[in-house]
Amino acid sequence: MADNVFENLFRPDKPGFNLKLPGPHPYILEAHTRDALVAALRAPPTPLPKPNRPTPVRSSTVAMPPAPPVRPTLPQSKSLLYIDHDIHSNAPSAATTPTGNTVNDPLAEAGKAVAAAQPTTTPTPPSTEQAKTTPPSEAAGTVAPSQLPEIRKGFLNQIETQLPDVHADPSEYYGGAAVYSRARTMSNAGTAGYGKRRPQTMNGEVIMRNRRLSHDETTATAPRRFLVDVEETMRIVLEQEDTDNNFQISVYDSGPKLVSLGTASSNAYRTWDIRGNYMLSNLLQELALARDYGRKHIVLDEARLAENPVDRLSRMIKNSFWNALTRRIDAEGLEVACADPKNRSRHARSLIYVPAGEDEMVEHYKQIAREKPNLNLEVIQLPPNCDDPAFVKSLNDDPGILALAMKRNVDANGKVTLEALPFIVPGARFNEKYGWDSYFMALGLLVDGHIDLAKDIVEHCIFEIKHYNKVLNGNRTYYLARSQPPFFTDLALQIFNQLDRSKMEENKAWLKRAIQAAIKEYHKYWMSEPALDPVTGLSRYRPAGLGIPPETEASHFTHILQPYAEKLGISVNEYIDGYNDGTIKEPELDEYFMHDRGVRESGHDTTYRLDKRCGDLATVDLNSLLYKYEIDIAAAIECIFDDRLDMEEEFELSPWPITPEAFAAGPPRKLSTAEAMTSKHWYERANVRKAKMDEYLWNDGQSMYFDYDTKQGKQARYESVTTLWPLWAGCASETQALKLVRNAMPKFEVAGGLVSGTEESRGLISLDRPNRQWDYPYGWPPHQIMAWVGLERYGFLDDAARLAYRWIYMMTLSFVDFNGIVPEKFDAVELSHMVDAEYGNQGVDFRYVPREGFGWMNAAYQIGLQCLTTGMRRAVAACTPPWVYFGLPAPDFPSARRRRAEREARDAAAAASGHGGAIKEAIHQEPPSLEQAIAQLKVDLTK
């Protein structure tokens, strides 16, 4: 079994890498006088020394040190999430120019030295004939282009410098000092028959002067740049193209989809058309970003507007979205981190709750409160048993953020300072650290090389388990009593396999802390009642708690509470107050909210699969994850810790073997420090769980796993895509895997990937039974990622690639058509982000430019791209539908089906009343092909 335990881990076979973050870099055109521009053009360019910047190479070509550190022997990874990063240099970029007043400008210093050595006489400009025959590099006295790589040039304080890359990040492209393009200034001249945008006038008469515009672009292959007035162009674009006034440009806007921009080489005299929704939405985004950096005028590359959409979205996720979603609970980040859109309490103050025993942290935050009174920050220390349901309910009137892990630094004088570690939030209304969201976002961070940030997420999980016995649903007070789907061990091992191999002892110590924390969470929460069902030996989402969950929308439970309030003759709000303070007792509601809390702990809130019975279900997803816990812990102990792991924290272990008698009140349970942990015990636990899953969850006749209702003693027959999670965990046999892929998976595969459940299982939808967001037809990133990895694990590479292509296509199509949108979820059947469910959609409400996307959707895109071949990536960038690329039947979208049915009904009614033609055939006829249409047109013309 040990040979397969690391099949799902990242395994880059290389030393650690350093991520080179982009710095500010200037590329902007400011207003200059004509004389200054002429002087700049006539001045000889100053040759600069070629920067000593090593070229990034693939890790496979990097020379290894003569004596590499000893590494534990681990099986070769087969995971699709294998990452082979480029090794980036830590040397400063030659393109980066300091902009602060206190920093010396190396380019300016070099320019002064060169200028001092040059003669003061002005060089004679070459003749017209010389200019035609002499290469610009030779005329300027520089090295021939054949001897230097082609670079983009501009000027900074009359010194020629390298311009940023066309697709550089906004901080590099628009930030820093002003750099202008070395282009000639064009007068307002025109040619015969050419209509000028702003013709010259004198005394009200238009002056027509015909001149040869020799310096404008003449070929279609030359890179084209535009000279843009930021505010004016943004005003025109919005006024003309944003017809629905939502500050976005989408295919639903009815504008002409055409804006003309002046070219930079003609000083904005000549114009070029920007056409189409994608380029116009990119233009709006670039203008908004330039305005963010305080730019009034910019030189904008056309290639930036026509950038490959896959490359553009991937770049934005890697370099912008992750940064925008990063939070720190420190003096600078407290105001943002404490903000809670879900807080409906009477008090608007900022509250931070610190665990018991963290006295240094309490004093740290009190010092911040004293230094920044504007935060109105109140620091409260929690009691030791802070996850008690009664205590958690008492905090609902004063909700606040829970402190997370901090780094303890001690200087040479012995002074202790605390540094808040960063974490990632999902985005939109979810402004805190979430349990399983953090796992999928951390996978995306690993793909993008942000290993330190992913490692900090593990530190926060360790901190939460230490103080709250579990990885929390979220770090808010109303989440104290419940967790979320457990992915902690897999995350820790994924990161461990990305760490620098030259620091193996340090890495082992870090992993040991993580595995010890996971063992505590496993025993104290998931393998203890009420989560554990001692009869079956399987676990359930059944968190403790009291009252109504306060984080929901105000009217979320109105339809549930209305009948009970009417029975007592009071309003719903009065009933809520009475039920929460205990004056109103209602056992039916107690059970309903117990299941509701379980639904929220499962992460699948909400779905008819779990509605009113979640706490009784031993779900496929949870037990697959716990099987992975057991295998991961066993593998780590065996391969990393020499088959022995001593626990440092003392707590009671859950009884083994699992029987109802063992969990009944009896003698004291075994303590964690009584003896060392070995891999044999954890492999035994994993084997027993697999056998229990086969007994209770597997249905051989349906070729699927189903949830098991521990109360009714039978399988729940809701068909959920979580039936594929055992593939990810590795607990399905090869026979079961083949049946899942061939018989079960087609039930969930639709145009955009995998839906959460089947339409048949969901049932009919009506006003009294509205749609739920984790049911058909909605698709979610976690289900896609789990399926891709699981299919890859069992060798179904083509299926994994096809599903990934479907999802990436849907994301790319929405990105192109809807102003760069990256939502929380999709209607995977309709390929639409417009979701008609109880919570709507998140990540879609922004102005001008998407700032953060949505956490796990960002990760799904970056991970999904790893599944695609080069040809697939090119095809999806061209928005080639998956049914075209893979030669599959085209989907008959439900919306088109409904519209067709309505149209045919109208036609039938019109024909029956004598006002229409013949009734159309019941079977939809495909439109004629181009050849058929031309042939019919010829026949019609001959009549």
Q: Is the dihedral of CA 627, 628, 633, 638 positive or negative?
A: positive
Distance CA 888, CA 882 (A): 8
Query: How far is 64 from 16, CA to CA, in rounded Å?
Result: 12
Q: Which of 105, 448, 824, 827 is catalytic?
A: 824
Whether 695 sits among the annotated catalytic residues: the reply is no
Q: What are the φ/ψ torsions at residue 622 (nearest 5 degrees)?
A: -65, -45
Task: Give dist(CA 177, CA 503) in Å, integer.
Answer: 40
Sequence-distant (≥ 6) Cβ neighbours of residue 665 within 8 angstroms: none
Rounded CA separation 451/16 (Å)? 10
Angle at 742 between CA 741 and CA 747, to 5 degrees: 80
CA 694: distance to chain centroid?
A: 35
Query: 3-state class of 707 per DSSP?
Result: coil
Supply 660's token pair. 């109802």
Residue 511, classed as helix, strand or coil, is: helix
Task: Please choose, from the candidates 404, 399, 418, the residue with its C-alpha nearest in 3D space to the C-alpha of residue 339.
Answer: 399
* Strand order, beta sheet including 617-618: 617-618, 708-709, 714-715
Q: Following DSSP, what letter does each residue of 869-893 receive, concatenated?
A: -HHHHHHHHTT--HHHHTTPPPP--
Which one from 605, 630, 817, 852 is the annotated catalytic residue? 605
What are the tokens at 652?
């009671």
In the numeric block, which tokens belong to residue 680? 């044999």
824 is catalytic: yes
AA identity, residue 117:
A
Taking 3-state DSSP, the helix, strand and coil percentages for the chain, each rounded to the nearest 5, stand at: 40, 10, 50
Residue 233: Cβ within 10 Å count? 23
> Token pair of 583, please?
């004056």
Provide the CB-side half-sphere exposure for 755 (13 A, CA).
27
For residue 465, the one-letter residue type is I
User: Is the alpha carbon torsion for 382, 388, 394, 395 positive or negative?
Assistant: positive
- Interhelix angle 504-521/488-496, nearest 10 degrees: 180
Contact status, residue 319 vs residue 325, Cβ threshold 8 Å: no
- CA–CA dist 235, 769 (Å, integer): 45
Instruction: Give the angle 257-261-267 at the CA atoms, nearest 5°.
Output: 175
**Cis preceding-peptide flag for 606 (omega within 30 of 0):** yes
Instruction: Compute the distance between CA of residue 517 and CA of residue 648 in angstroms, rounded to an integer.
Output: 10
- β-pairing, 401-402 vs 350-354, is parallel
Residue with tokens 């200087």: 411
* Structure token digits, residue 461: 């999980």
Burial class (CB in 10 A: 0-12, 13-18, 19+), 839: middle
Residues 6+ apart with CB under 8 A from 803: 749, 753, 754, 784, 787, 788, 791
Residue by residue, what is the 3-state secondary structure of 895-940?
HHHHHHHHHHHHHHHHHHCCCCCCCCCCCCCCCCCHHHHHHHHHHH
Q: Report whether 469 contacts 387 (CB < 8 A).
A: yes
Please give the single-letter amino acid code of residue 793.
Answer: R
Bridge partners for 533 per DSSP: 538
C-alpha 785/C-alpha 821 separation (Å) is 20
List, by residue number, the catalytic residues: 605, 824
